[in-house]
Amino acid sequence: MQAYEGYFENGQFYTAGRIINIPERKRVFLTVLEEPPKAVQAIESEHAKAWREFFDAVNANDEEIPEIIPMSE
């Protein structure tokens, strides 16, 4: 028995940069977990941190934010 950890994206299974060959006519168990892969979680955490820092900086600024921001040419 062999087990592989990976993720599905666009109909393809990815696991640690390896190609997995599954022999024909073999019994297979597939478990879909209710969580994104760790790499996606790390990226989401980075994005969340960046947005949190941005909003913290905006909220800490005393300047009034104009309703219309002029476009520079």
Q: What CA–CA distance (Å, rounded) separates 27 from 3? A: 13
Q: What CA–CA distance (Å, rounded) separates 57 from 65? A: 13
How does 39-63 read in b/e, with b if 16+ C-beta sit within 10 Å?
eeeeeeeeeeeeeeeeeeeeeeeee
Q: What is the pLDDT of residue 40?
A: 63
User: What digits encode the pLDDT tens for the residues 12-71?
Assistant: 777 876 777 777 888 888 787 777 666 666 666 778 888 888 888 888 888 887 788 778
Domain limits, the chain:
32-62
